[in-house]
Amino acid sequence: MAKIIDGKAIAAKIRTEITEGVAALKERGVTPGLAVVLVGDDPASRVYVSMKEKACAEAGIFSDEYKLPAETSEAELLGLVAKLNNDPAIHGILVQLPLPPQIDTDKVLEAISPEKDADGFHPYNVGRLSVGKPLFQPCTPYGVMVMLKEEGVELAGKEVVVIGRSNIVGKPVAMMCLAQSATVTVCHSKTRNLADVVRRADVVIAAVGRPEMVKGDWIKEGAVVIDVGVNRVGEKKLVGDVDFAAASQRAAAITPVPGGVGPMTITMLLYNTLESAKRFAEQLNS
Residue 52 is among the residues annotated as catalytic for this protein: yes
Residue 215 is among the residues annotated as catalytic for this protein: no
Q: DSSP of 9-20, one letter per residue?
A: HHHHHHHHHHHH
Question: Amino acid identity of 12?
Answer: A
Half-sphere exposure of 256 (CA within 13 A, CB side): 12
Residue 42 is among the residues annotated as catalytic for this protein: no
| Cα–Cα distance for residue pair 75/113, rounded to 1 Å | 17
Helix 43-59 vs helix 7-27: crossing angle, to nearest 10: 50
Helix 139-150 vs helix 7-27: crossing angle, to nearest 10: 110
Q: What is the DSSP letter of 196?
A: H
Out of 8, 67, 83, 96, the active site residue is 96
Half-sphere exposure of 118 (CA within 13 A, CB side): 30
Instruction: Name the pairing type of β-strands 237-239 and 231-233.
Output: antiparallel
| Cα–Cα distance for residue pair 245/253, rounded to 1 Å | 12
Out of 119, 202, 227, 241, the active site residue is 119
Q: Which residues are catalytic?
A: 52, 96, 119
